Amino acid sequence: MKLVVAEDYEDLSRRAVAWLRDALAGIDIPNVVLPTGNTPLGLYHNLAAEPNGQFLTNARFIQLDEYQGIPREDSRTLAGWFWRTLLDQLSIPKTALLSFDPSAPDPDAEAARMEVVATKAGIDACVLGLGVNGHLGFNEPGSDFASRSRVVELAQDSLKSNAAYWGDETSVPRRAFTLGLRTLATSSHTLLLVSGAQKAEILATTLTGPQTPQVPATCLKSFRDVTVIADRSAISQKMHTVRTMITPKTPEILH
């Protein structure tokens, strides 16, 4: 794993564009997993603003996660969020997103269908946000590192953080689809984006703590080619201490 410390959120978002461009260089029709949430909005803004964003024009996007049990037309779908914040901005058709159907009558079968979609396509690059509870996608604490795409109950922390997107906790669906941790591990390149002091503690735990399903993000240590881009506010005092202990097996700090 490689840790890149960005000066601030702008810098993080700029570096994320460069990372994605490099990860997909030379691939004609790349398969990409990108997150929703607040953290990647700067990346999406930059992709839309720069001619460089066009390198995604031919991409196929495999949805990372989606609420379960709401209509496709519901304004809270994460597919809708993704269309609005990225695809529409790049004039990429909505059909480029291979997505979970939030209203599928058999949710387990729907999760299994998306697992096949993801594994058959193969993931060239995956960008992830970090939950305050250490989740990746909706792989909540307790998720097996060998987990595949499935339906999950949202953890209390996720209900709380998602309430910020939709006004209050009662507006947050209780269940969701997510690509599994093992599914995500198949990606050739993975980028974890972490911004803000509220993520400092969980980032330190992710990078320096033992691998445990209680902190799903610690599974990243076993993934191929992982880069973490965190802004300075997400680097805790604890991490500064850890920097003196860095070895080739642990994250490398770059500026």
Residues acting as catalytic residues: 65, 133, 135, 140
Residues between 133 and 152 with contacts to ligand PGA, criterion CB under 6 A: 135
Residue of 42, 129, 180, 213 interacting with ligand PGA (CB under 6 A): 129
Under the criterion CB under 6 A, does residue 216 sit at the interface with ligand PGA?
no
Is residue 231 within 8 Å of 130, Cβ to Cβ?
Answer: no
Could you tell me the two tokens for 100? 């979970």
Under the criterion CB under 6 A, does residue 37 sit at the interface with ligand PGA?
yes
Run of H or E including 165 = helix 156-166
Nearest position to ligand PGA, beta carbon: 37
Residue 248 burial class via C-beta count within 10 angstroms: exposed 0-12, middle 13-18, buried 19 and up: exposed
Question: Among the candidate windows 33-41, 67-75, 78-86, 89-97, which touches ligand PGA by CB under 6 A?
Answer: 33-41
Between 135 and 189, CB nearer to ligand PGA: 135
Is residue 218 within 8 Å of 156, Cβ to Cβ?
Answer: no
Under the criterion CB under 6 A, does residue 205 sit at the interface with ligand PGA?
no
Under the criterion CB under 6 A, does residue 178 sit at the interface with ligand PGA?
no
Cα angle at 190 between 188 and 192, to 5 degrees? Answer: 175
Question: Among the candidate windows 37-45, 77-85, 175-183, 235-243, which touches ligand PGA by CB under 6 A?
Answer: 37-45
Residue of 38, 89, 188, 211 interacting with ligand PGA (CB under 6 A): 38
Neighbouring residues of 29: CB distance < 8 A, sequence distance ≥ 6 = 58, 59, 60
Beta strands in the chain (DSSP E): 2-6, 31-33, 60-62, 65-68, 97-98, 125-129, 150-153, 175-178, 189-194, 226-231, 252-254
Could you tell me the two tokens for 206? 């992710």
Question: Among the candidate windows 3-11, 34-42, 110-118, 225-233, which touches ligand PGA by CB under 6 A?
Answer: 34-42
In the complex, least distance from residue 36 CB atom to ligand PGA, rounded to whole angstroms: 8
Between 113 and 201, CB nearer to ligand PGA: 201
Between 39 and 68, CB nearer to ligand PGA: 39
Residue of 39, 149, 205, 206 interacting with ligand PGA (CB under 6 A): 39
In the complex, least distance from residue 80 CB atom to ligand PGA, rounded to whole angstroms: 16
Question: Among the candidate windows 4-12, 97-105, 128-136, 224-232, which touches ligand PGA by CB under 6 A?
Answer: 128-136
Least Cα distance to 92 among 48, 39, 52 occurs for 48
Neighbouring residues of 159: CB distance < 8 A, sequence distance ≥ 6 = 169, 172, 174
Could you tell me the two tokens for 123? 């993931």
Under the criterion CB under 6 A, does residue 233 sit at the interface with ligand PGA?
no
Enumerate binding residues for ligand PGA (CB under 6 A): 37-39, 129, 131, 135, 161
